[in-house]
Structure 1
């Protein structure tokens, strides 16, 4: 019976092997790849920033930290697909769509359509209409956003976007 030795040299060989394997990981910081591809990130950012640019507001920047939080919360809703807010320290927009063929831009477009229900002069939404998704999108102090899309167990889709700093403070106008 023939035995094959992969390494010889005892402790010295083991040390050299381990140092070659682990030294590069110690000398260079690891950058985790983004969890969302750049083209998908742009599907969230472009429509957000289009609305903001119409008002002369600075563009939102993508935050992986907020993306991870949005993903965590969307996955919490995966079982029931309910539009229940997380009540976190962040601003938050949620979107539900029947079926799974929803793009990020569809959710952002739905929120942007609420612009027609917002009255800047009175800083209020039209009677029985929602406009708070829109006002969060264009909240002047909100500078970062992270979003996530999840297929629910029932086959529907939920999308969450999280904003920092948050917006929609009572008595304050968004811009």
Structure 2
């Protein structure tokens, strides 16, 4: 199920982490779509994913996806224009809507600052347990570190008439935050333990190119096998990816 993970900031600061004020010129630079900006976003995501505690044995290395970026841009512009009813044009990954992190702000922020806000929810989450207190916000953080979300694309929109003028969106494919696994967004163990021969400084580089539609495909495979028509259409990752991270 797709999560709409939204945080709002005003000039008084973040409820979690204060952001530095930036100039409009800086905003213009960091909102531009280009390889340098993409690499900033990717590097920050991967550094966060490498540094999880406990360490991850199956954490995939993130890469930039231009289709995800276009989807994020379209969604940001729709949100700014208050046209939220139609989600049919949002990016799908093998039939599943991609995950999403959102940040609204009344002042311009750089992308590293925006990602840092999502990352700050780490204080609200404990691996194997979940939220450290009732109603704590943590889903933006768990999407950042969801092991199988290996493609990301981001965009920002500006609305001068809104209280929150700046709207930052990242789309993650395949999506994270599976409710059945939410307390364990990755498998703990030695870094790259599940991907020998496919490791880049603690991150796996062998993603499955398919996506399971059902959350319980492993159980369905045990019950019916991959020759079942149901699994052939709804559990492609479980049935086709035997060595890749899925």
- TM-score, normalised on structure 2? 0.52
Q: Which runs of 5 or more residues in structure 2 are unaligned?
A: 1-31, 91-96, 187-246
Q: How far, CA to CA, are the matches of 1:125 and 1:43 in structure 2?
A: 30
User: Which of 160, 167, 171 does residue 158 from structure 1 map onto?
Assistant: 167
8 Å CA contact retained: 2:60, 2:149: no
8 Å CA contact retained: 2:73, 2:156: yes
Q: Which runs of 5 or more residues in structure 1 are unaligned?
A: 1-34
CA RMSD of aligned residues (A): 2.5
Residues 132-154 of structure 1 deviation map (CA, whole Å, 9 limit, x = unaligned): 00000100011100000111242
8 Å CA contact retained: 1:80, 1:153: no
Measure how far apart 1:36 and its partner are. Answer: 1.4
Q: Hey, what does 1:167 align to over in structure 2? A: 176
Q: How far, CA to CA, are the matches of 1:152 and 1:128 in structure 2?
A: 30
Q: Hey, what does 1:78 align to over in structure 2? A: 80
The residue matched to 2:128 in structure 1 has which SS? coil
Q: Hey, what does 1:119 align to over in structure 2? A: 126
Q: How far, CA to CA, are the matches of 2:83 and 2:155 in structure 1?
A: 14
Matches within 5 A, 1:99-110: 99=107, 101-110=108-117
How many residue pairs match? The answer is 139
8 Å CA contact retained: 2:60, 2:148: no
Residues 81-102 of structure 1 deviation map (CA, whole Å, 9 limit, x = unaligned): 99x9x59511000001112x21
